[in-house]
Homo-oligomer: A and B are copies of this chain.
Amino acid sequence: MITFIIKANKARTSPDFLLKDLPGSGGRMDILCNCVESALLVSHGIRTDVEVILCLSGPPSPPRCIRMLGDRIKHLSPDERSTAILIKKALIAYRPGDEVESTPGIFVSDRSFEAVLMDNYERLVLLDENGEEYSKIPLNDPCFVIGDHLGFDEGDLELMKEIKYRMTISPKVLHASHCIVIVHNMRDKELD
């Protein structure tokens, strides 16, 4: 199993964002849709050994945590808009204090980014442009932490300062979804 945690600093935490304006009204919801596509889909199929955890931290009511499980998810298509609809359905289904399965394989709760990190601390690998260039992924069941276009704030960095594995995968600073593709490619080759 491989997990990707994505911190979405401005992602809208209410379902009222517009499908025709995911970057603006959704607080860069397009980034999350691209990350979900990269993490869970291959050509004509789903990666069943993947968990994606989206940590939505934008207005009006953060935090919202949307978790997707590759071995259970249904109705996932490669295009941004259909993924945004699944996220919207999750935000509609949200109930305080509970983790609700909004559509098959998609769960919504108010778990915070901090709580998500703490639950997975031993498995964490931080994607960090100043990290180490590993030839192999340093864990068998890694949990990658990836920032969005705004990266991590000081509070996040404080939470993550004890993370043992800090990995760089490119000499360039890439989109979060591209980082996921590269990590998967490393792992696909290792498992082949």
Contacts and interface: CB of A to CB of B under 8 A. Distances in A.
Interface in A85-137: none
Interface string A58-86: 00000000000000000001111110000
Contact of A185 (B42, B169, B175): B169
A173 to B, nearest CB: 4
Interface string A19-38: 11011000000110010011
| Number of copies of chain A assembled together | 2
A106 B192 CA distance: 40
Contacts of A184: 178
B41 A175 contact: yes
Interface-central residue, A41, A77, A80, A181, by most chain B CB under 10 Å: A181
Nearest 10 A/B pairs, CB to CB:
A30-B79, A171-B192, A43-B173, A181-B181, A80-B80, A178-B181, A23-B79, A182-B185, A42-B172, A172-B188
